[in-house]
């Protein structure tokens, strides 16, 4: 059986004040697989991603990338974050830098590329997300959907082995959501390994190879995307009913 590219084992996270956000979560992600994580607000979805990328440290548990434990002091945080890209709901672009410079910053200072090499790579990834024509724009002159596609390009430029998306459309107006989801769908079609926290159930149903449903910090349901419509998944059905009311 092939080894998982990303493995989470017995992850727990307790915040100050005793809030037990994640309770013994385990799952594997295979190379080229798209996994959607769904669940109610406060179910621990974003906490899981942030622990994987070491924006926060889990209280317990092990995270492995290609068999190597990465939630340990011996694993350099910058290297971990270059191997596991992350796209946030709030874009996190530098407002004072043009689109080109937002992307080349990490390539020059983390990947140690020359400016010429970094510029070429930036053009390649902007073309992949259909944003090459905005290369000299500042973020303030972009729509929310355009900002998010630039954020995706910035993560892709680092050539990550896994991509994490934390509610990538939640900050967007409804008319802008489609272009971002289409970009992520294209990456899935290319075989990018990704974990997507999303409230877009249709996206999880149509794009994800596998779905993980979190409820109160635990994995309540896990399986192929068809479990979303399986009448036997009672907790899933209650969740879907609550968001459709």
| Pairwise CA distance, residues 193 & 161, whole Å | 7
CA dihedral sign of residues 93, 94, 98, 100: negative
Is position 1 within any domain? Answer: no
Is position 204 within any domain? Answer: yes
- Look up the CATH number of the domain holding residue 17: 3.40.50.300
Is position 38 within any domain? Answer: yes
Predicted confidence (pLDDT) per residue in 97-132, tens digit = 999 999 999 999 988 999 999 999 999 999 999 999
Is residue 213 helix, strand or coil?
strand
| Pairwise CA distance, residues 179 & 185, whole Å | 10
Predicted confidence (pLDDT) per residue in 59-78, tens digit = 999 999 999 999 998 998 88
Is position 144 within any domain? Answer: yes
> Domain range spanning residue 98?
6-244
Number of domains in the chain: 1
Is position 114 within any domain? Answer: yes
Confidence of residue 245 (pLDDT cuts 50, 70, 90): low
Is position 44 within any domain? Answer: yes
Give me the pLDDT at residue 237, please. Answer: 82
């Amino acid at each position: 059986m092939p080894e998982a590219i990303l493995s989470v084992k017995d992850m727990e996270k307790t915040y100050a004040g005793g809030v037990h956000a994640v309770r013994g979560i385990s799952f594997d992600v295979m190379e080229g697989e798209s996994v959607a994580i769904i669940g109610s607000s406060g179910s621990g979805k974003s906490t899981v991603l942030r622990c994987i990328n070491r924006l926060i440290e889990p209280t317990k548990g092990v995270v492995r990338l290609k068999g190597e434990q990465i939630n340990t002091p011996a694993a350099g945080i910058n290297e971990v974050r270059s191997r596991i890209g992350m796209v946030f709901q709030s874009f996190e672009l530098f407002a004072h830098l043009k689109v080109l410079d937002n992307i080349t910053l990490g390539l020059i200072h983390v990947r140690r590329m020359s400016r010429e090499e970094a510029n070429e790579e930036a053009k390649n990834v902007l073309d992949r997300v259909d944003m090459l024509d905005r290369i000299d724009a500042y973020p303030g002159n972009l729509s929310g959907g355009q900002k998010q596609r630039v954020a995706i390009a910035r993560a892709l430029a680092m050539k990550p082995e896994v991509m994490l998306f934390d509610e990538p459309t939640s900050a967007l107006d409804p008319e802008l959501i489609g272009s971002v989801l289409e970009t992520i769908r294209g990456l899935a079609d290319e075989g990018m390994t990704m974990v997507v926290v999303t409230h877009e159930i249709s996206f999880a149903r149509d794009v994800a190879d596998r779905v993980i449903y979190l409820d109160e910090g635990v994995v309540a349901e896990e399986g192929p995307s068809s479990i979303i419509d399986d009448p036997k998944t009672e907790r899933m059905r209650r969740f879907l009913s609550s968001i459709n009311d």
